Amino acid sequence: MKKLLFLLMFSIGTSMAQPLDLNIISEGAKPDGITKNTEIIQNAIDHIHQAGGGTLFFPKGKYVTGTIQLKSNVQLYFDKDSELLGSTDPRDYKVLDVKNIPLASKKDDNSQLALLLAYKASNVKIYGKGSINGQGLDLALAIDSLHHAGIRVDSAYNYRRKRPSELARPKLFRFSECKNVEISALQLGEAACWGLSFELCENLTLANLTITNRSYWNNDGIDITDCDKVSITGCDINSADDGICLKSYFSDYCNNDIFISDCTIRSSASAIKFGSASYGGFKNIVIQNIKVYDTFRSAIAIESVDGAVIENVQVNNLTAKNTGNAIFIRLGHRDGEKPGSIQNINIKNLKVEVPFGRPDLDYKLRGPEVNYFHNPFPAIITGIPNHYIEEVSLENVEIQYPGKAFKGMAYVPLSGLDRVPEEVKGYPEFTMFGELPAWAFYVRHVKGLIIKNLKLTLKDEDYRPAFVFDDAYKIELNNIEIPKKNKKQIILNNSKYFSMDKSLEMISKNQ
């Protein structure tokens, strides 16, 4: 009986243990924007972790630091006008000492360096009213200078583009194999590489963040790699590379149960992208209520080129203005033992305006333009020979195209559809095939496509047909509104089981 009473009292005492809350200034930090506080911040985090959990407070001020590592049951709170500043000295960044991490299939662009690191940590929260600034431009230029001086040589230095590789530049966040993570209500960004990067994490919540990541190249906003149960809501993202990017580096894992909602995105690449790293898969993804503007590439890009399985994706209520491409869905075979698969993709309530010129013309850091002449690109859904994208539906879609196509600029005749290259191993991008023979939709190697309630408009005339279907099966077009000036609106080549509105006109080739 005494033993039972002791155990009960011990249990009650443990459950009533108070969290340890520390003020970083009381711990000795100097918020002067000059002094490096790395050791003080790390010691405070370690102390809270060892005590069982609590919160580290950052009052008003500027706190310079190198790499710090988050631990389980630790919260960081940034008060109004408080700012964590990444050191601009490359020597202040380190790689986590990790053990038994799953082997990634792709290793050439995933930096292990970051300002904030976490490995196998649980119950971590970073929140408040302040900001975290990676000072990425100065840091990247310092890395570049040290490479050319032979002091810190980047073995993967990109001499063609004259910049340090992604492997040499720190991200803002890198969380690996963590559980129950919440990042909310902060201003984040200006990293030397990717912004917020999470791999193999579970129960991740990113809410009401303002992310401005435009300091240097490869400045993604958010990267989610093979994570389970992720919620990204209410975020405003302005990135020099992809806004929200789902990646899969691990063949035996996948992104699963991902919810992205009520976000605004501006990007010098794609707004929301699956890939290009695509080894394991992407399953059960819901994307809704997204606003995209002034974005160089695609509003939504869904890519499996390394063997990934992509299935059960729902996109609802996405509006994109001044955006280079509406929809890009690509199944390729760049890497992996065999091609992956893409199936059960549902996109509805999509409205996109595609401009004639560059959407990011006024950006300081602009996406790289292609090195050939071309007319405006259509939306693209394409697999590769004998490997089809399957069961895609588009409903309540409105796309405005610029027109102004001219045969003297570039031309693929309808008698020469085989001139469009397959690019089986090519890097996936809507510009990868060169000039295309349609102005609205180019569809190739697809089985099961339903397009319902589609409105297409042209600001100027375009000599090309609206649709080209090549090696496409079980296609349904219902309630399609397109300009009537060009009678050759739909081209079928090597395609079967096709149904469409009687009001549409079609040319069949080798059907």
Strand partners, 187: 131, 210
DSSP per position, 415-436 = GGGGGS---TTSPP-TTTT-S-
Q: Which domain holds residue 228?
A: 23-509
Q: pLDDT confidence of 510, banded at 50, 70, 90?
A: low
Query: Does residue 259 lie in a domain region?
Result: yes
Do 253 and 227 meet the contact criterion of CB atoms below 8 Å apart? no
pLDDT greater than 90 at residue 96: no
pLDDT in tens, 340-374: 999 999 999 999 999 999 999 888 888 888 999 99
Query: Does residue 373 lie in a domain region?
Result: yes
Residue type, 300: I
Q: pLDDT confidence of 504, banded at 50, 70, 90?
A: confident
Query: Does residue 6 lie in a domain region?
Result: no
Query: Does residue 358 lie in a domain region?
Result: yes
Q: Tell me what the mean pLDDT of segment 130-149 comes to.
A: 97
Query: Does residue 11 lie in a domain region?
Result: no
| Percentage of the chain exceeding pLDDT 90 | 85
Query: Does residue 499 lie in a domain region?
Result: yes
H-type alpha helices, 149-281: none
pLDDT in tens, 17-30: 689 999 999 999 99
Count of structural domains, the chain: 1
Do 314 and 285 meet the contact criterion of CB atoms below 8 Å apart? yes
| Percentage of the chain exceeding pLDDT 70 | 94
pLDDT greater than 80 at residue 214: yes
pLDDT of residue 3: 44
Do 470 and 417 meet the contact criterion of CB atoms below 8 Å apart? yes
Phi-psi region of 26 (alpha: psi -120 to 50; beta: other; left: phi over 0): alpha
Query: Does residue 1 lie in a domain region?
Result: no
Do 106 and 335 meet the contact criterion of CB atoms below 8 Å apart? yes
pLDDT of residue 320: 98
CA 253, CA 99: separation in Å to the nearest integer?
A: 18
pLDDT of residue 488: 60
Residue 294: give its domain's CATH number: 2.160.20.10
Dig out the tokens for 321 from the structure.
């203005």
Query: Does residue 252 lie in a domain region?
Result: yes
Closest CA to 24 of 67, 66, 69, 60: 60
